[in-house]
Amino acid sequence: MQTFEQNITVRWSDLDPNGHVRHSVYYDYGAQTRIALLQRQGVGIDWLASNGLGPVLFREEAKFYRELRASDELVIDVRLSGVSADHRKWSMRHRIKRGDELCAVLDLDGAWLDLHKRRIVTPPAALVSKFEELERTEDFQPIVSRKGG
């Protein structure tokens, strides 16, 4: 399994008045990386729309280690940190790096939403197989569903 990486350059519009990257931009970087990953695997935005499916997030948490500034060249990776047996629910981790320097880590929990029924569903086999190809974190844990899903 190979780690997916996305290169991003910090833009002027990403900055706060102090010249640092705004906290919400880190989450945008993660979202862009996830969509780029799905796109590369052939299950991107068009595929999701034609299957009436979309990702939904329950939790997104950032840990900041180093400040980012305008024109910094970043590499953001994505790895699977958990998945339920039926692949309805999943957890991912992004590492945001500048060279070898770890600048932030994003952890998130999500699921697949049927856009018509507005319910969490088991994804089609094509999407399940793509998730099985993702690199897993060192602390990967199966997600055990609680009562009610």
The pLDDT score that the predictor gives to residue 137 is: 97
The pLDDT score that the predictor gives to residue 148 is: 53
**Helix (H, G, I), strand (E, B), or coil: what is residue 29?**
helix
- Give the model confidence (pLDDT) of 123-132 as tens digits: 999 999 998 8
**List of the chain residues with pLDDT < 50:** none
**φ, ψ dihedrals at 48, nearest 5°:** -60, -45
β-pairing verdict for 136-143 and 73-84? parallel
- Give the model confidence (pLDDT) of 44-54 as tens digits: 999 999 999 99
Q: Which domains does the chain have, with CATH numbers?
A: 4-135 (3.10.129.10)
Dist CA 85 CA 143 (whole Å): 7
